């Protein structure tokens, strides 16, 4: 069933039916109701190719899917995509994921030229991200998950990484900790830098300037790295009594390291992790339950999709910037350090 058939069936012109269905004016309420009902009844769905051709818009969001880079290793990214997909779907938008090896430029160029996506979503921004300039050049609307350095305004959704990690570190300081290690994600990415900055700013403010030296490790957020980094830090002397991890996966590894060294989480070493709410790794099921800074990455995905759609439909960029606050959830993995 296509538009022509539907309008013939209704005894109306294609114009009117189209306008009725797309919510334009110039059509009497009664007519509109009739049209909408009929469309519903016969199960009319506009052909996406035709609409795409006629409007030049594709009703799709694009996202580059790096098949060999770190991002993919990363369940965080996936959970984020889930959020994007969920919201896009609700709004009748498709999500086109285009895999890419190496640089994403090729994909964006295709998106732009084939008009295959109305807006694209940028993940894992680094401090000076060449993709920004590329997308601007291509005139392809984009929204960034995270932030980056660029003179011009751009649409983004981020969480308060700095604040979260400052607060986490402050909590440990307040409990009496003095040597607090940081197990961070890849510090070429902005979120990780922000977190490090948050952590060190708390230490600085407490007058522990030297305390940042050698107490940070960074790398891909895997359990394995969590173990390695934690073990590495815990073997320095004097031993840190607190560890702040950029993900639950890292914290997971840190727990294992603590145990392996014959220590106990909570008693000997306080641990805080950042919880993106990955559904298959829940911090409260750890033993002891993990204290976390928490911000659901899926929700961020939804918000990003929302921004992307609005951007594609004309909302000005400067309205599309958001920094979400982060919760701090106190659980059993943090305590005052033992007196020695």
Partner DNA sequence: GAGCGCTTCCAAAGCGCTTTGGGTTCAGGG
Partner DNA sequence: CCCTGAACCCAAAGCGCTTTGGAAGCGCTC
For residue 213, the partner it binds in DNA, a second copy, none, with Cβ less than 5 to 8 A by kind, is: none
For residue 257, the partner it binds in DNA, a second copy, none, with Cβ less than 5 to 8 A by kind, is: none
> Does 275 contact a second copy by CB under 8 A?
no
Binding DNA by CB under 7 A: which of 8, 33, 42, 47?
Answer: 47
Decide whether 17 or 326 has the Cβ nearer to DNA: 17
What CA–CA distance (Å, rounded) separates 331 from 329?
Answer: 6
Binding a second copy by CB under 8 A: which of 34, 51, 178, 324?
Answer: 51
> Does 313 contact DNA by CB under 7 A?
no
What CA–CA distance (Å, rounded) separates 266 from 252?
Answer: 14
What CA–CA distance (Å, rounded) separates 219 from 235?
Answer: 18
Site for a second copy in 58-77 (CB under 8 A): 58, 60, 65, 67, 72-75
Decide whether 92 or 207 has the Cβ nearer to DNA: 92
Site for a second copy in 94-153 (CB under 8 A): 94-101, 109-110, 113-116
Decide whether 56 or 314 has the Cβ nearer to a second copy: 56
What is the phi/psi pair of residue 180, to 5°?
Answer: -125, 115
Could you tell me the strand order of the sheet in which 242-245 lies? Answer: 216-218, 180-184, 242-245, 270-275, 291-294, 327-329
Binding DNA by CB under 7 A: which of 8, 37, 42, 54?
Answer: 54
> Does 285 contact a second copy by CB under 8 A?
yes
Token duo for residue 4: 């022509």
- Host H or E run for residue 217: strand 216-218
Total length of the chain: 340
List CB contacts of 337: < 8 A, sequence separation 6 or more: 175, 176, 177, 178, 241, 242, 270
What CA–CA distance (Å, rounded) separates 88 from 306?
Answer: 7
Question: What is the chain's alpha carbon radius of gyration, rounded to the nearest angstrom?
Answer: 25
Q: Euclidean distance between the first and final Cα of the chain, in Å?
A: 79
Q: How many residues bind DNA (CB under 7 A)?
A: 29
Site for DNA in 3-32 (CB under 7 A): 3-4, 11-16, 18-19, 21-22, 24-29, 31
Binding DNA by CB under 7 A: which of 8, 42, 50, 209?
Answer: 50
Binding DNA by CB under 7 A: which of 8, 9, 42, 53?
Answer: 53
Catalog residues that contact DNA under the rule CB under 7 A. Answer: 2-4, 11-16, 18-19, 21-22, 24-29, 31, 44, 46-47, 50-51, 53-56
């Amino acid at each position: 069933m296509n538009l022509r058939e539907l309008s013939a069936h209704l005894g109306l012109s294609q114009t009117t039916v189209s306008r009725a269905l797309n919510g334009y004016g110039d059509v009497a309420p009664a007519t509109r109701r009739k049209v909408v009902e009929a469309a519903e009844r016969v199960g009319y769905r506009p052909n996406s190719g035709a609409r795409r051709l006629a409007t030049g818009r594709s009703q799709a969001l694009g996202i580059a899917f790096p098949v060999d880079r770190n991002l993919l290793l990363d369940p965080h990214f996936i959970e984020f995509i889930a959020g994007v997909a969920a919201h896009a779907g609700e709004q009748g938008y498709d999500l086109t994921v285009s895999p890419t090896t190496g640089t994403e430029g090729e994909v964006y160029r295709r998106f732009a030229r084939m008009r295959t996506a109305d807006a694209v979503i940028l993940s894992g921004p680094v401090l000076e991200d060449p993709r920004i300039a590329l997308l601007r050049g291509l005139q392809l609307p984009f929204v960034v998950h995270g932030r980056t350095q660029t003179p011009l305004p751009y649409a983004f959704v981020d969480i308060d990484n700095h604040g979260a990690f400052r607060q986490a570190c402050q909590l440990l300081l307040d409990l009496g900790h003095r040597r607090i290690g940081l197990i961070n994600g890849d510090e070429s990415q902005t979120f990780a830098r922000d977190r490090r900055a948050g952590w060190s700013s708390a230490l600085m403010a407490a007058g522990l300037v030297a305390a940042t030296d050698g107490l940070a490790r960074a790398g891909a957020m895997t359990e394995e790295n969590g173990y390695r980094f934690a073990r590495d830090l815990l073997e320095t002397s004097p031993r840190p009594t607190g560890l702040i991890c950029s993900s639950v996966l890292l914290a997971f590894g840190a727990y294992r390291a603590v145990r392996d060294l014959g220590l106990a989480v909570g008693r000997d070493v306080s641990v805080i992790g950042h919880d993106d709410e990955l559904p298959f790794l829940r911090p409260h099921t750890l033993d002891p339950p993990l204290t976390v800074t928490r911000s659901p990455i899926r929700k961020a995905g939804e918000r990003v999709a929302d921004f992307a759609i609005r951007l594609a439909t004309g909302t000005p960029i400067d309205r599309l910037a958001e920094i979400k606050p982060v919760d701090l959830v106190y659980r059993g993995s943090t305590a005052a350090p033992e007196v020695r």
